[in-house]
Structure 1
Amino acid sequence: MEPPHNDTSKNASADNDSAEPDPVRRPWVVGVSGASGTPYAASVLRGLLAAGEAVDLVVSRASRLTLMDETRIAFRDAHWRTDLREWLARGADGKPDTFPVTEEALAGVRYWPAGDLAAGPSSGSYPAKGMVIVPASTACVAGVALGLSKDLLQRVASVTLKERRPLVVAVRETPLNGPTLKHLVALDEAGAVVLPASPAFYAGATHIQDLVDFVAGRVLDAAQVPHGLYRRWEGELGGGSKREAPKAR
């Protein structure tokens, strides 16, 4: 006698077939190089997280020295989440606990050590949306323009260019010499957005944080990530209203 027909497995299979697949995590890679301007990076990170974007973070070895000098924060591989929370909470004026940073927000961040050349974003098959380098030192600019890939940050930038993904390079240096200008032209020709960290004053800045957020907002504009970090020009002198910046989740 044949066993009784059981529709349970069939129904279960049908349910599985109709269920939507788990969405693939597609982060923005944020590279922080050794140039002065770590508050720019913190503002960009807060903006990405507030917009609900996933983030893969690469902090170069040189940038750790800059971060220590500018904020007194020691960024450590083994304690990166604790150190990142302190960094993102700090205002551009150095005041701690200026911004709320929740566990939910930090859950959207994946950290890769700069020396890990086998990290996920080092491969073109890794599903990243693109990359922003903020701030970008002239040494970093040269390495990316020449395709050196001496560390993970430069390698990911090279991968981003070869995969034709968005790459925003927020260079922070003045004055610029001839070789650096040539490297920046090479990056532009390769498809990157060269975005000097140049704050504007028409947005009604009254605090150093306003100037930092303007640059961070322009970085997010180039990446087509929505934000409310600065007042946009609307064609009228003194016009427009400054929208409240989104809170990191």
Structure 2
Amino acid sequence: MNHQITPRVPWVVGITGASGTPYAAAVLRALLDAGEAIDLVVSKAARLTMLDETGLSFREARWRTDVKAFLGRDPGDMIVWKAADFAAGPASGTYPTRGMIIVPATTAVVAGVATGMSKDLIQRAADVTLKERRPLVLVPRETPLRRVALQQMADLAGEGAVILPASPGFYAGARDVQQLIDFVAGKVLDVIGVPHTLSERWSGRLGSGRTAES
């Protein structure tokens, strides 16, 4: 009998040092809820931001425990690669992935990807994603933006990347911060074609979104 093995094809998710690590948590949870495999890379700066914003640490030696605390759920089908590991799977175009999400993305990482610097695994994996014509989504949060950062984002968009600023919409009647975070995470999943129930969708009727009274 011929037993075919379905290959594991993950989404690569990079978390960098920009403010906004709760956006990363929301994206990761939604991908896992959709049954997607994940390869996670957390930069050194992101660990400091995560500690500041959530009070949680991230240690590669016990990453499963720390990711579970960060997400509030089991990591599921997840692999964690070291940001300094250039021999990691996502560093090669022969390693199959569905694409990559950098959330949140610092302007330094945007610059590194735009200029092909590949200073760490996040930048290298993004470079690979572009050259292999796979989906790449960058979620910058920093504001205001310098001209050079805008030019670099335009260059990346010209190569097929999606620049998705962490700009939540308010028309759905969000009642708390988590719903605003989920709105942005939902936009990320929309552009990569992964189904989710993170936010209500516009129906074309005024007052159809969530309100304080609903």
What's the TM-score, normalizing by structure 1?
0.83
Size of the aligned set, in residue pairs, is 211
| Residues 55-74 of structure 1 aligned to structure 2 (within 5 Å) | 55-74=38-57
Cα distance between partner residues in 1 of 2:183 and 2:81: 27
Q: 2: CA distance between counterparts of 1:239 and 1:73?
A: 37
Q: Match for 2:35 among 30, 34, 52?
A: 52
Go from structure 1 to structure 2 and tell me whether the alpha carbon gap of 1:174 and 1:240 turns closer, same or farther (over 3 Å shift): closer
Moved over 3 A (4+): none
Corresponding residue for residue 137 of structure 2: 168
Identity across the alignment (%) = 60
Matched residue, 1:34:
17
* Offset at residue 74 of structure 1 (A): 1.4
From 93, 118, 131, give the equivalent of 2:87.
118
User: CA–CA distance in 1 between the matches of 2:57 and 2:37?
Assistant: 24
Establish whether residue 139 from structure 1 lines up as the match of residue 111 from structure 2.
Answer: no
- The residue number in structure 2 matching 1:83 is 66
Task: Determine the structure 2 residue equivalent to 1:188.
Answer: 157
Q: Following the alignment from structure 2 to structure 1, what is the Cα–Cα distance between the partners of residues 76 and 106?
A: 28
Q: Give the match for residue 228 of structure 1.
A: 197
Looking at structure 2, the residues matched to 210 and 134 of structure 1 have their Cα atoms a distance apart, in angstroms, of 17
Question: 3-state SS of the aligned residue for 1:83?
Answer: helix
Deviation, 1:240, is 5.4
Contact conserved, 2:107 with 2:149, CA < 8 A, in 1?
A: yes
2:179 to 195, 202, 210: 210
2:209, 2:153 → 1: CA distance?
33
- Which whole-Å deviations, capped at 9, do the CAs of 1:98-143 have from their partners, x for residues lacking one? xxx13xxx23111001010110010000010000010001111001
* RMSD, matched Cα: 1.2
Extract unaligned runs of 5+ from structure 1. Answer: 1-14, 90-100, 243-249
Paired residue secondary structure (1:236): coil
In structure 2, the residue corresponding to 1:111 is in which secondary structure?
strand
Which residue of 79, 103, 119 maps to 1:150?
119
